[in-house]
Copies of this chain bind each other. A is one copy, B any other.
Amino acid sequence: MPAEFSGVTAVCKANIYFDGKVISHTLVDGAGKKITLGLIFAGSYAFNTGAPERMDMVAGVCRVKLAGQEGFVAYPAGTTFFVPGDSSFEIAVDEGIAEYICSFG
């Protein structure tokens, strides 16, 4: 799991969801691939996906339920999960702030 991304373009305007409970900054790497660095505050949120997403957990703990799954699975810092494209997932943080790297495509 990278600690940093070099040679990227960083977009200054943040992505804000659920009134600021989920926020991220967008990076675009040299190959044009989109990456977001995000924070999730306590709560439970549902997202749809367009492209497939790789989620690397940087800090904190989140629980994730992919579309069609029965229950939530916990992902602490240092773990990774994948969300199929054209799908959806629920993500919950019970306490503190979880941080992630989301790689699209």
For A9, give its contact among B4, B14, B58 (CB under 8 Å). Answer: B4
Cβ-based interface call for A91 (8 A): no
Copies of chain A in the complex? 2
| CB <8 Å contact, A99 and B41 | no
When distances are taken between beta carbons in the complex, the residues of chain B under 8 Å from A8 are: 6-10
When distances are taken between beta carbons in the complex, the residues of chain B under 8 Å from A25 are: 10, 25, 37
* Contact residues, A23-64 vs B (CB, 8 A): 23, 25, 27, 37, 39, 41, 58-59
* Contact residues, A57-93 vs B (CB, 8 A): 58-59
Spell out A's residues near B (CB within 8 Å). Answer: 1-14, 16, 20, 23, 25, 27, 37, 39, 41, 58-59, 97, 99, 101
